[in-house]
Amino acid sequence: MFKRVYLMVIDSLGIGGASDAKSFGDEGSDTLSAIRKSDKLSVPNLKKLGLFNIDGITGGVDKPIASYARLKEKSNGKDTTIGHWEIAGIVSNEPLPTYPSGFPSEIIDEFERLIGVKTLCNKPYSGTEVIKDYGAEHIKTGYPIVYTSQDSVFQIACHDSVTSVETLYKYSEIARKLLVGKNAVGRVIARPFTGEYPFIRTGYRKDYSLLPPKKTMLDDIVESGLKVISLGKISDIFSGQGILKSYKTKSNAEGYRKSMQLLDEDFSGLCFINYVDFDSVYGHRNDTHGYAKELTAFDEFLGKFISAMDSDDLLLITADHGCDPSTPSTDHSREDVPLIIYNKNLKPKNLGTVIGFDAIASTVLSALNVNKTYGEDLLKKI
């Protein structure tokens, strides 16, 4: 039906309303509502596409040009891995392990034995605050900083003048092999930082994710003879499984430029994109105005992207979880997410409230004429 599908994940752009938010400690969280209060927000293209026409959101237009829906997550989680896996067709009934009191001694002791040095911290921490509080001691001792969050992550931070990025990656690979079974965290994340106090994180972050436990829409697309191209951290999230070509980015701005270039690339299949700065730079740092400014920049890019799309291109825009920057928490929040589906030849429709991010997987496969179903195929409604 379509030659190319572009699936864009605005990382953490939740829209509140999760019926089980209270059980995750996120009652009242609403990322989109929080940033709409900022005078830095201007998103005429998202508005025109129907973002504010979604069930439960106010301020929509009379005649949106795209179809739109509110998606409710089936999986038991609110993190990047679980969210993206469900988008790709995997529903996770069991949450990935988290460590609100830090990692048990058997993990830390074995990790230190394997890398040959002691570690610092081992607590849940903000990524920017942990390097402020432990950066000087790390530089003095050479000991890596190990920390976690409310999410299923094992994070390792090192100053690039003390520990090379290559060595930090080796530490992360060792941690990934160690953290299996009951301790199989969703991601091990290498977090290099640089400069003088209070230090800044560099663009050489690298994620080491669990392999998906079963096939996803990415495997289905490749097995059908089509291509899957990833942009941003998608390849890391899926550990490269089902991805034939990947492009890493160091910022959303680089991601926008590369997305435009991929419109000129001749391929048949899926281009799966994640714009991570919304989450990592603004959501986790409780920067409401920064988040609003970045969504404004995305909207400007989006207007150019839509204008350049071919008639046989399909665009889907969604999110993987929330990260409300207006709450005291600096972690992800359990929220519903938006879905926008656009092609200039498709008649716009309000698709209502849909249960399951996996509706995206079925919709993408249907668009590419791949005979596999996960959640609800929304193209059948349009």
What per-residue confidence (pLDDT) applies to 151? 85
CATH class of the region 105-209: alpha beta
Residue range 291-316: mean pLDDT, rounded? 98
Residue intervals of the chain classified under CATH 3.30.70.1250 are: 105-209
Owner of token pair 């001792």 = 141
Read off the pLDDT band of 288 (50, 70, 90): very high
Residues 81-122: tens digit of each pLDDT: 999 999 999 999 988 999 999 999 999 999 999 999 999 999
| Nearby residues of 327 by Cβ (< 8 Å), 6 or more positions away | 28, 29, 34, 286, 333
Residue range 200-226: mean pLDDT, rounded? 94
> Which alpha helices (DSSP H) does the chain contain, by range?
31-36, 44-49, 80-87, 105-115, 127-141, 165-178, 217-223, 234-237, 252-262, 277, 288-308, 359-367
Q: What percent of the chain has pLDDT over 70?
A: 100
Residues 249-271: tens digit of each pLDDT: 999 999 999 999 999 999 999 99
Read off the pLDDT band of 165 (50, 70, 90): very high
What per-residue confidence (pLDDT) applies to 95? 87
From the list 351, 352, 212, 269, the residue with the least C-alpha distance to 3 is 269
More confident residue, 38 or 210: 38
Read off the pLDDT band of 203 (50, 70, 90): confident
Residue intervals of the chain classified under CATH 3.40.720.10 are: 4-95+212-381
| Nearby residues of 156 by Cβ (< 8 Å), 6 or more positions away | 144, 145, 146, 168, 171, 172, 175, 188, 189, 190, 191
Residue range 2-6: mean pLDDT, rounded? 98
DSSP H or E segment with residue 248: none
Would you say domain 4-95+212-381 falls under CATH 3.40.720.10? Answer: yes
Contact 326, 57 (CB under 8 A): no
Q: Per-residue pLDDT for 333 more than 90?
A: yes
Q: Per-residue pLDDT for 334 more than 90?
A: yes
β partners of residue 358? none
From CA 5, how far away is CA 214, in angstroms rounded?
Answer: 22
Residue range 322-341: mean pLDDT, rounded? 96
β-bridge pairing 313-318 and 4-10: parallel
Owner of token pair 């999410």 = 151
From CA 364, how far away is CA 144, in angstroms rounded?
Answer: 42
What per-residue confidence (pLDDT) applies to 217? 98
From CA 83, how far away is CA 12, in angstroms rounded?
Answer: 10
Read off the pLDDT band of 361 (50, 70, 90): very high
β partners of residue 72? 355
What per-residue confidence (pLDDT) applies to 194? 98
Contact 325, 286 (CB under 8 A): yes
From the list 255, 325, 254, 253, the residue with the least C-alpha distance to 289 is 325
Residue range 167-173: mean pLDDT, rounded? 98
Q: What's the whole-model pTM score?
A: 0.89
Contact 171, 137 (CB under 8 A): no
Would you put residue 102 in left (φ > 0), alpha (ψ -120 to 50) or beta?
left
From the list 94, 123, 121, 117, the residue with the least C-alpha distance to 184 is 94
Query: Which amino acid would we find at residue 330?
Result: T
